Amino acid sequence: MLDIGITTWIVTIAVIVTLLAADLTIAWLKPHHVGFREATAWSVFYIAVALIFGVWFTLRYGGEFGTEYFVGYLVEKSLSVDNLFVFVIIITTFAVPTEHQHKVLTFGIVLALAMRAVFIALGAALLALFSFMFLVFGLLLIYTAIQLYRHRDEDPEIEDNAVVRLARRVLPVTDGFVGGKLFTRVDGRRMVTPMLIVLIAIGTADLLFAVDSIPAVFGITQEPYIVFTANAFALLGLRALFFLVKGLLDRLVYLSTGLALILMFIGAKLLLHWAHVDLDERVPEIPTLASLAVIVVILVVVTVASLAKTRRDPTAKAHAGSLRAHDAEAGPDDTTEEP
């Protein structure tokens, strides 16, 4: 077992909170269009921070735990790209002005990290108490993989989100973003702006991604510290990555298929681990290095195949994938939103 002292936990969380606070402050106080050069610089910085941490962690705690961190980081980074798809859909659906997209993304990352922290604590406690939770997590990932593959050519319909629809019906919403404020007054009446609705949509999307991503990384390692840091460092670079590759996202047409395969593989890994622990020690387990090789191959093949596909067919467009089919035959009454 990995023995992490309280001081290491405190320092790690302090570094992550400091980076988040700096990012949030910049987004909130200086809303601006993030260009390619700035996005590249931030992306390189966050990847470098994650790699430097990984090197230190490996030297400090050994190659086995270091490998688990790097594999977990790769898995979470891959899943976070799908997160970007949903962020793009939300921002496009609600027509968020360019200068406020930085703020929306930073909020989404902060909320995602907070939700993941809760799920990590819960997941670690459940796995420590009940070994059959490996079976539950494995089946959850396999089900998610099957659904994602079945609906790989669809996008989640944000406007049909029950929480978003309820918020729009209950809350008085202004027509414009009013300088990125959440609340404002119009003719003496207190109202919310579309920015609050956007943040609600981001929050519910983050919740769904946390449900999937935490079992996925627990399939690589059962060490809460590694699970937390892999998630944290993968999410810290998400904002910059959005501005850097948002033009490329549409070209990753096979990304949903690749993620479905990764989730299916990790789900199978969890099932084998459960069978090894609870049924028979002769049941083989998948080594961490083998997991790394499989995930890297899937990502490389998916990226190359996607770029080749869009080169042959420029009209091909990537989709985030959905966990359920959408009712194409819904009538007007089913989709009309109240102002």
Segment of 27-36, 138-147, 178-187 carrying the highest mean pLDDT: 138-147
How far apart, in whole angstroms, are the C-alpha atoms of residue 85 and residue 320? 5
Q: How many residues does the chain have?
A: 339
Which among 223, 267, 295, 240 is positioned nearest to 84, based on CA atoms? 240
The pLDDT of residue 254: 86
The pLDDT of residue 332: 40
Here the tokens at position 215 are 């079992």
How far apart, in whole angstroms, are the C-alpha atoms of residue 291 and residue 296? 9
164 falls in which pLDDT band (50, 70, 90)? confident
Residue 115 scores a pLDDT above 90 = no
How far apart, in whole angstroms, are the C-alpha atoms of residue 103 and residue 21? 12
Q: Is residue 199 part of a domain?
A: yes
Give the residue numbers spanning the domain of 150.
Answer: 6-312
Q: Is residue 163 part of a domain?
A: yes
Kindly report, residue by residue over 195-229, the tens digit of the pLDDT. Answer: 888 888 887 777 777 777 778 888 888 888 998 89
The pLDDT of residue 327: 52
Residue 330 scores a pLDDT above 50 = no
The pLDDT of residue 44: 87
Kindly report, residue by residue over 283-321, the tens digit of the pLDDT. Answer: 888 887 888 888 889 989 988 998 898 888 888 877 766
Q: Is residue 262 part of a domain?
A: yes
Q: Is residue 330 part of a domain?
A: no
β-sheet bridge partners, residue 173: 192
Average pLDDT of span 327-334:
43
Kindly report, residue by residue over 133-162, the tens digit of the pLDDT. Answer: 888 888 888 888 888 888 877 776 666 666
Q: Is residue 156 part of a domain?
A: yes
Q: Is residue 323 part of a domain?
A: no
Q: Is residue 322 part of a domain?
A: no
The pLDDT of residue 333: 42
Q: What is the DSSP letter of 330?
A: -
What does pLDDT average to over the chain?
80
Q: What is the DSSP letter of 324?
A: S
- Count of domains forming the chain: 1
Q: Is residue 275 part of a domain?
A: yes
Question: Is the entire prediction scored with pTM above 0.75?
Answer: no
